[in-house]
Structure 1
Amino acid sequence: MTEPRMPVTEDELHAYVDNELPAERHGEVEAWLSVHPDDAERVQSWRTMAELLHARYDAVADEAVPARLEIDRLVRQPRSLLYGAVAAAMLAFAAGGGVGWLAHGAAASPSAFQHFTLDALGAHRLYVVEVRHPVEVAGSERAHLQQWLSKRVGYEIKAPELDGTGLKLVGGRLLPGPEAPAAFFMYESPNGERFTLFTSRATTDTTQMRYASQDKDGALFWADKGVGYVLSGPTDKDRLNQVARLVYDQTEKAGG
């Protein structure tokens, strides 16, 4: 299949996903996607996010406006605007195209995957750039850090040993999670590469890992025995998977 006569713009890709693309450009956009795998992946990620938003917010969009809000100049917004506002709020930190959601295997509940991964990526992006205060408790106080965080999150937690992947524990901190307090650990390689582990109570179990990316950051989400985990780091999937597997092996053994 040959490329279209005119380059496809990002606005046209969004219109294609939203079924608002003019009919005369539909075939050309599909031809473009067939030879531009990066754009095809972005389009698929936007569609996945749209499906998750529909699953989570369709019921809200169909609710009647409460009587107390029925005033002259307050009218109910169309559903498309509601989805736009929700997506903007959820992906406020995802400038220029949103989070690339690539789901594989058995699906976790949309809320767990969305909330965990968005919260974890947000924390990762906030703290990995910190030089003087990236953590609350330093890695040199590992025993105290583990005891403190275990007490706060409500289950025994140990900072995984990642020396085998060239990563040293920087330390950790307590954060709010989607449903309960979250423990947050940061690791660093000799060349300054940083990974973070975000873990908290979860209402879903899916031991199959699910990948998400945003700009230059990637994340792997999984949940087991009522606890969710997100490992965040560079978008190199092989490297991320290498570290995540080591974390998974240790947390699985710790959980019995």
Structure 2
Amino acid sequence: MHPSDPIRDTDLAAYVDGQLPPERRVAVEAFLSEHPADAARVMADLRLNSELRLALPLPEGGAGLRVSHAARLLQASRLRRRLAPRVGRIAALGLFVAIGWTAHSQFGALGVRESVASVQPPAYVEDAIRAHRTSQLRAGMASQPETRRYDPAEILSATAIRLPKLPADWAVSDVQVFPSTHGPSVEVALKTLGQATVSLYAVRPGGFDVVDASLAPAGEADTAYWQIGEVAYALVSSGVDRDRLGQWAGELSRTLY
């Protein structure tokens, strides 16, 4: 099967079961990023798989009646979702509207929610802060010339990471690819209209999820982060108003839908 072949239900089922080769997984993820209803259905199947694994620990050996029954429940659940696309579209619409607008009452129409202080942000947030520091270090070194050529299509082709559409009045100062646990990551150093310095970091963290834009607890550098499918993003800055940073993150995340 060629990666450019149309995505079918069998591909989505194989994606959920982890049975696709890497190039086909990338094709499915690109498809899901443009089809919210199918993305919501796949996320529900992934969650159900995880719940079954947690609820039905097995001894070494074979399955049993409980597993067979669970498998039938999983198959029936998927069938119901395929027979009710309108319900799926409505659920997906609610999900993706909530992604960008959960904290409307807290920060206004373009705001994001503040992470609960007791909840640690994802590990990639610390990676994003380290990449931000490295970018600042490079900016002050004459022997490390910055790369301002920014080609989102080339980055997507090389890394399977789709970057958000940048505001027209932002300027790219540097673009770098860094290693990460699950493959390459991308860091883009930017200057805003008001000459504020921010870093946009994107990485595949190793899991499928949808996380709406959130502000990490205050620290040495302020960070807003979000995740869409298998790609996570972080916007990092030192000195930018936190509310404003959150608004920018919300705006960037919405360009990915």
TM-score by length of 1: 0.46
TM-score by length of 2: 0.46
Greater RCO (CA < 8 Å, at least 6 residues apart): 2
